[in-house]
Amino acid sequence: MGEPDVILAADEGRGGEVALKICEKVYGTEHPNTARVLNNLAGVLRDLGEIEQADRMFARAIAIGEKAMGAGHLLVQRFQSGYALLLLRTGREAEALRVAETALTVHEASNGPDHVWTKDSARRTADALEALGRADEAAALRARYGLGDGSGP
């Protein structure tokens, strides 16, 4: 596939799929860079409402990341944080809480409480707590990380 084909594919909304195929060809299907592309594509698909496809891509990205880098790796937990948002949006709040809390623990231990990844994981954790009816815990977590009241975007 030449450059014009890549541009055409991107114009047709297949840019992420093309990037994934290129990454798989260059790095292989089990490489951390492939996991990154899968995670990014999963996030886009999640935001577009393509939930089943996004779920499969998150699962694959996480599996590759865990195999290549270990389950406790910062990047793997970043993938998990994105997956937690999908879980929240699909009514799987308890699972979202478990995933988000793990990501938060790893991110805070490695990056500190003020890092953007830590705050993102804290926000997902607070949202899951809120969805589970644990508003007081959610508010306390938001206050601890300076996230506001959760009413914003």
Sequence ranges of the domains in the chain: 1-70, 74-153
What angle do helix axes 74-89 and 51-69 make, rounded to 10 degrees? 160
pLDDT of residue 20: 87
Q: Are 100 and 124 in contact (CB under 8 A)?
A: yes
> In CATH, what number does 74-153 get?
1.25.40.10
* Alpha helix segments (H runs only) across the chain: 3-11, 15-27, 32-47, 51-69, 74-89, 93-111, 116-131, 135-145
Compute the distance between CA of residue 27 and CA of residue 92 in angstroms, rounded to an integer.
33
At 84-102, the pLDDT tens digits run 999 999 999 999 999 999 9
pLDDT in tens, the chain (153 residues): 444 443 333 334 567 788 888 889 999 999 999 999 999 999 999 998 999 999 999 999 999 999 999 999 999 999 999 999 999 999 999 999 999 999 999 999 999 999 999 999 999 999 999 999 999 999 999 999 999 865 544
pLDDT of residue 148: 82
Contacts of 27 (CB under 8 A, 6+ apart): 33, 34
At 101-118, the pLDDT tens digits run 999 999 999 999 999 999
